[in-house]
Amino acid sequence: MTAQDPAAAGHVQKGLEGVVVSETQLSDVDGARCQLIYRGYEIGELVGKAAYEEVSFLLLNGHLPSRTELADWTEQLVTRRALSPDIIQLMEQLPFGNPMAYLRSVISIMGLADSCAEDLSPQALRERALDLIAKTPTLITLFDRLRHKRSMLGPRPDLGHAANFLFMLHGEEPDPEFAKALDAYFVLLAEHGFNASTFAARTAVATQSDFYSGITAALGTLKGPLHGAANTKAMEMLMEIGSPDQVEPYVQKTLSDHKRFMGFGHRVYKGEDPRAKHLKHFSHQMGAARGELQWFEISERLQDAVWQAKKLYINVDFYSASLLYYLRIPVDLFTPMFACARTAGWAAHILEQLGDNRLIRPLALYVGPRDLKFAPLDQRSA
Ligand code: CMC
């Protein structure tokens, strides 16, 4: 240890809170202003205007596509949507357990089957990025159809990324308003700075491991309820509450049990998550379209009650829950939906990390004992 080591000085930044570990050109998560910027565009500038195809191009290429570039990018995504027969056969054999564990496992095996997986050239990484952005919706929807013993549906090349997702899940072409709402969800969740899963992806590839290892590290990290699974937990909370008049008792009980309100709080944003108001808008719109506003109403009342009781702001996962529910996404697929959106961000970060790589290797302050003497086994207690 050198005199400059923070660990030697006894300085520990638990959870890496407030630590800046790298520069990025991908997004700015501005906690003080409560702003989210993708490559220079404030998120409100993109949502409802740019489709996920455009935003994934923006993240991976640094600028909004021209018409020709967008047509080419879209075509490349569309032609990569289908899965190989080998992967489909494998998917039929795997246990239909936790959907995130399933997705993580299949993508890991896709890496195993990719003979060029070790190629870390920018071109090879971009190919894999396109491939996974295109295929993740197919993987998620096929998982759902297989576990319910429904017939497999091939992707529809005439439909956009979001509309095709809903088609492959439900087997019918979605109402354009529903596809638009899902598209907005994908755009809003596409990228978010050095969140835990993105950091995991960057850490994995910074060892010069492969693209798939980066994505599977990210998937395993997103799976936890303090990160991506908060959307599923938020919907379970709304269902447990059941009706708007049960919000107050629920809040009181959660407070007295010292439990957390899922979809509330944020490590970086000091006020409301800038994505939340857009998701709230789409949740309201979809709830009205379904004639089922109670989930929106419970959410709105809970938002107010938790603010009154604990001064906690909502985060991205709060209105994602009711929105995805209105889109008839099964509740245990909410976290895979998050992954589906975030694949573009993870891929762009993997490219950025490897474009100017340095091994990520923080320090720890050792607080255990020292100078212990080895005792042979026969001198230790039974
Ligand atoms: N419900 C109740 N209390 C909370 C919550 C919550 N959702 N969030 C924070 N607090 C309290 C916490 O109890 C603590 O109070 P005290 O200092 O009295 O012990 C204080 O606020 C600070 O909390 P923290 O856990 O130290 O803050 P953090 O920055 O480590 O946690 C968080 C951020 C997102 C993990 C946390 O707010 C949380 O657990 N939220 C619920 C899960 C959730 O919605 N996760 C999604 C995060 S956003 C999307 C994503 O990145 O995936």
Please indicate, yes or no, if residue 19 is contained in any of the structural domains.
Answer: no
Instruction: Determine which residue's CA is closest to atom 32 belonging to ligand 1.
Output: 266
CA-based max dimension of the chain = 77
pTM listed for this prediction = 0.96
Q: Is 205 in the same domain as 260?
A: no
Ligand 1 pocket member 227 (CB < 6 A): yes
Please indicate, yes or no, if residue 120 is contained in any of the structural domains.
Answer: yes
What tens-digit pLDDT sequence spans the chain (382 residues)?
Answer: 444 566 666 789 999 999 999 999 999 999 999 999 999 999 999 999 999 999 999 999 999 999 999 999 999 999 999 999 999 999 999 999 999 999 999 999 999 999 999 999 999 999 999 999 999 999 999 999 999 999 999 999 999 999 999 999 999 999 999 999 999 999 999 999 999 999 999 999 999 999 999 999 999 999 999 999 999 999 999 999 999 999 999 999 999 999 999 999 999 999 999 999 999 999 999 999 999 999 999 999 999 999 999 999 999 999 999 999 999 999 999 999 999 999 999 999 999 999 999 999 999 999 999 999 999 999 999 8
Report the nearest atom of ligand 1 relative to the CA of 318. Answer: 44
Is 266 among the catalytic positions?
A: yes
Please indicate, yes or no, if residue 380 is contained in any of the structural domains.
Answer: no
Which residue in 266, 278, 284, 349 is the catalytic one? 266
Q: Is 256 in the same domain as 219?
A: no
Which residue in 131, 144, 210, 317 is the catalytic one? 317
Residue ending a domain, choose from 284, 305, 326: 326
Please indicate, yes or no, if residue 3 is contained in any of the structural domains.
Answer: no
Q: Is 248 in the same domain as 313?
A: yes
Ligand 1 pocket member 312 (CB < 6 A): yes
List, as one string, the DSSP characters of 36-72: EEETTEEHHHHTTTS-HHHHHHHHHHSS---HHHHHH
How far, in Å, is the centroid of ligand 1 from the Cα of 14? 14
Q: Is 319 in the same domain as 339?
A: no
Please indicate, yes or no, if residue 350 is contained in any of the structural domains.
Answer: yes
Q: Candidates 34, 267, 299, 334: which one to mutate for ligand 1, based on the most atoms within 8 Å of Cβ?
A: 267
Q: Is 219 in the same domain as 256?
A: no
Report the nearest atom of ligand 1 relative to the CA of 192. Answer: 51
The enclosing domain of 141 has a CATH number of 1.10.580.10
Please indicate, yes or no, if residue 2 is contained in any of the structural domains.
Answer: no
Q: Is 213 in the same domain as 272?
A: no
φ, ψ for residue 355 (rounded to 5)? -70, -20
Please indicate, yes or no, if residue 310 is contained in any of the structural domains.
Answer: yes
- Quickly tell me which residue has 């245990």 as its tokens: 332
Ligand 1 pocket member 165 (CB < 6 A): no
Q: Is 117 in the same domain as 246?
A: no
Where does the chain show beta strands of DSSP type E?
Answer: 27-30, 35-38, 41-42
Q: Is 220 in the same domain as 238?
A: no
What is the per-residue pLDDT for 4? 58
CA distances from 85 to 90, 113, 143, 314 (A): 9, 12, 14, 43
Total of domains in the chain: 2
* Range of the structural domain that residue 259 is part of: 230-326
CA distances from 306 to 16, 34, 102, 249, 272 (A): 27, 19, 34, 12, 13
Q: Is 204 in the same domain as 343?
A: yes
Q: Is 218 in the same domain as 349?
A: yes
How far, in Å, is the centroid of ligand 1 from the Cα of 263? 9
Q: Is 167 in the same domain as 199?
A: yes
The enclosing domain of 321 has a CATH number of 1.10.230.10
The first and second tokens of residue 242, run together, are 């059941």
Ligand 1 pocket member 334 (CB < 6 A): no
Please indicate, yes or no, if residue 66 is contained in any of the structural domains.
Answer: yes
Give CA–CA dist 52/187, Å, rounded.
5
Q: Is 58 in the same domain as 205?
A: yes
